[in-house]
């Protein structure tokens, strides 16, 4: 896995950095923590040291007992210059939370602590996650500092909007949840260090269309956005992603192999060809459940009396899970409504032999289809988890986190 440098600056959100350090360590990464003096007023160095199993450094003059090594890594014979060695050895450096003061120093190139000095010396991917009061965040000075950092190829992880630390205040400035921070950090890691390196992921997206005549079809309103978000999230984690896109008008994410299909039969054939070599199947497409029994060869005319007869299409997911192996992780989607939607989705989980069902409540008009947002419930054999309304990108990361957990619990590679 990767060697991660975590810089923690002074802010109430510093407590979330403890959970981030824990998640990164549990994920198998070697983590070293650098704190500012200010950060030590909010959380103790001893907590980080206990979690990552390595000393925390604060002052740029401090001797590093590990001589710039990461936990479990080899220590050099000589005693190197601490801030240079850690910066040279890391695969990525994330400052979270990044206070307004620390951001200003990083933008100005000030080197007055182990955190800031190492940031200046670091040539690995660098990320900052600002967290502060919304007025401080919106201030022109902070925004100018962030713009400077972006220009210098530092990744800025935007803060979330919501309740802030100061009582009763809401706004943009919250540090994103630690799992999200870890996903963003891992996405920045070089190939070979990303958590899903070597994993083959098959994603289906969009909605199939069953022709009535050469110009008309029976179809559904799926836009493919959720599938594209899943494909993008898997690619960011390093997976080798194949996207089977059924009538998706949007471009595929970078690095993703795309196969275009139109009908349920074509989707079934394309998925069948890829399935056995895939470790993970994310069946986000909405295949048409019915096809016309006959397709008119020429365009039907309004004057023609049309009597459409429909027959059910094959259940692609059930067909694939019938030949699945225990090494594969399979995620199905369910569009349900009404009070019994959870029971129906759970029944689908068992009947379709999937490991996880992502349940969409299709009666809620604010989510789904064309929207960039979604709210879902994740249902696996053991538990149900509500994922509140958020962007499809964020939902995709939550689904992949769950896939990773399920694979880890089953003793399979990749989280
Ligand atoms: N699905 C599929 N093949 C189909 C229809 C659906 O593989 N012909 C997959 C979808 O991609 C999704 C899951 O099955 O992952 C659930 O889809 P949904 O339409 O909610 O369920 P149905 O298959 O229609 O369920 P039912 O059998 O209750 O009609």
Closest ligand 1 atom, CA of 352?
A: 14
pLDDT greater than 60 at residue 415: no
Kindly indicate the confidence band of residue 124, based on its pLDDT and cuts at 50, 70 and 90.
very high
pLDDT, mean of residues 337-346? 92
Give me the pLDDT at residue 364, please.
76
Ligand 1 center to 334 CA (angstroms)? 7
CATH tag, 200-409? 3.40.50.10300
Kindly indicate the confidence band of residue 256, based on its pLDDT and cuts at 50, 70 and 90.
very high
DSSP designation for 43: S
pLDDT, mean of residues 204-225? 96
Helix (H/G/I), strand (E/B), else coil: 400: helix
Give me the pLDDT at residue 369, please.
65
pLDDT, mean of residues 13-41? 96
Give me the pLDDT at residue 402, please.
94
Question: How much is the pTM?
Answer: 0.83
Ligand 1 center to 315 CA (angstroms)? 6
Q: Residue 410: is it exposed, middle or buried by C-beta count within 10 angstroms (0-12/13-18/19+)?
A: exposed
User: Which of 221, 333, 342, 346 to probe ligand 1 with, by most ligand atoms within 8 A of CB?
Assistant: 333
Instruction: Give residues (CB < 6 A) around ligand 1.
Output: 264, 283, 285, 287, 289, 313, 315-317, 332-335, 348
Give me the pLDDT at residue 27, please.
84
- Asked whether this chain's domains 3-188 and 200-409 adopt the same fold, the reply is yes
pLDDT greater than 80 at residue 177: yes
Give the integer Cα–Cα distance in Å for 325 and 279: 9
Contact criterion met (CB below 8 Å) for 356 and 379: yes
Kindly indicate the confidence band of residue 119, based on its pLDDT and cuts at 50, 70 and 90.
very high
Average pLDDT, the chain: 93
Distances (CA, A) of 68 to 18, 33, 200, 321, 323: 21, 11, 35, 48, 49
C-alpha angle 47/51/53, rounded to 5°?
110
Tell me what percent of the residues of the chain surpass a pLDDT of 90: 80
Report the b/e string of 288-312 with b at 16+ CB within 10 A. beebbeeebeeeeeeeeeeeeeeee
Tell me what percent of the residues of the chain surpass a pLDDT of 70: 99
User: Which of 315, 316, 359, 368 to probe ligand 1 with, by most ligand atoms within 8 A of CB?
Assistant: 315
For ligand 1, atom 6, name the residue with the nearest CA.
287
Kindly indicate the confidence band of residue 169, based on its pLDDT and cuts at 50, 70 and 90.
confident
Would you list the domain boundaries of the chain? Answer: 3-188, 200-409
Residues with Cβ < 8 Å from 23, sequence gap 6 or more?
A: 178, 179, 182
Pick the CATH number of 3-188 from 2.60.40.10, 3.40.50.1950, 3.40.1080.10, 2.60.40.4070: 3.40.50.1950
Kindly indicate the confidence band of residue 162, based on its pLDDT and cuts at 50, 70 and 90.
confident
* Selected catalytic residue, list 220, 247, 360, 374: 220
| Residue 339 annotated to the active site | no
Give me the pLDDT at residue 294, please.
94
Question: Sheet holding 280-283: strands in order across?
Answer: 257-261, 240-246, 200-206, 280-283, 329-336, 356-361, 373-379, 384-391
Kindly indicate the confidence band of residue 368, based on its pLDDT and cuts at 50, 70 and 90.
low
Kindly indicate the confidence band of residue 306, based on its pLDDT and cuts at 50, 70 and 90.
confident
For ligand 1, atom 4, name the residue with the nearest CA.
315
User: Which of 202, 204, 227, 286 to probe ligand 1 with, by most ligand atoms within 8 A of CB?
Assistant: 286
pLDDT greater than 80 at residue 366: no
């Amino acid at each position: 896995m990767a060697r991660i440098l975590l810089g923690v600056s002074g802010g109430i959100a510093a407590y979330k950095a403890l959970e981030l350090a824990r998640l990164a360590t549990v994920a198998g990464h070697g983590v070293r923590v650098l704190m500012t003096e200010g950060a030590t007023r909010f959380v103790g160095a001893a907590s980080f040291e206990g979690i990552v199993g390595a000393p925390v450094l604060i002052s740029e003059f401090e001797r590093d007992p590990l001589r710039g090594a990461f936990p479990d890594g080899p220590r050099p014979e000589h005693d190197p210059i601490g801030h240079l060695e850690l910066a040279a050895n890391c695969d990525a450096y994330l400052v979270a939370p990044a206070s307004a003061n620390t951001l200003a120093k990083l933008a100005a190139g000030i080197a007055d602590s182990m955190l800031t000095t190492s940031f200046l010396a670091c040539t690995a991917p660098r990320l900052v996650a600002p967290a502060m009061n919304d007025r401080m965040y919106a201030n022109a000075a902070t925004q100018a500092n962030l713009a400077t950092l972006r220009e210098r190829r530092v990744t800025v992880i935007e803060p979330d909007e919501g309740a802030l630390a100061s009582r009763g205040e809401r706004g943009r400035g919250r540090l994103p949840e630690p799992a999200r921070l870890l996903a963003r950090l891992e996405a920045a890691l070089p190939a070979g260090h990303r958590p899903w390196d070597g994993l083959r992921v098959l994603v289906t997206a969009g909605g199939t269309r069953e022709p009535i005549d050469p110009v008309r079809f029976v179809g559904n309103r799926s836009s493919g956005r959720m599938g594209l978000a899943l494909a993008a999230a898997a690619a960011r984690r390093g997976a080798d992603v194949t996207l089977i896109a059924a009538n998706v008008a949007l471009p595929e994410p970078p690095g993703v192999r795309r196969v275009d299909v139109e009908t349920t039969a074509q989707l079934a054939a394309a998925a069948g060809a890829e399935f056995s070599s895939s470790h993970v199947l994310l069946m986000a497409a909405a295949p048409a459940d019915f096809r016309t029994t006959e397709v008119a060869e020429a365009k039907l005319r309004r004057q023609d009396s049309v009597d459409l007869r429909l027959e059910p299409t094959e259940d692609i997911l059930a067909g694939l899970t019938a030949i699945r192996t225990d090494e594969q992780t399979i995620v199905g989607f369910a569009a349900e409504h009404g009070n019994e939607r959870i029971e129906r989705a759970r029944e689908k989980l068992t009947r379709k032999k999937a490991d996880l069902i992502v349940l969409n409540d299709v009666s809620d008009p604010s989510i789904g289809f064309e929207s960039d947002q979604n709210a879902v419930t994740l249902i696996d054999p053991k538990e149900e988890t509500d994922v509140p309304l958020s962007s499809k990108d964020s939902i995709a990361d939550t689904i992949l986190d769950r896939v990773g957990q399920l694979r880890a619990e089953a003793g399979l590679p990749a989280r």
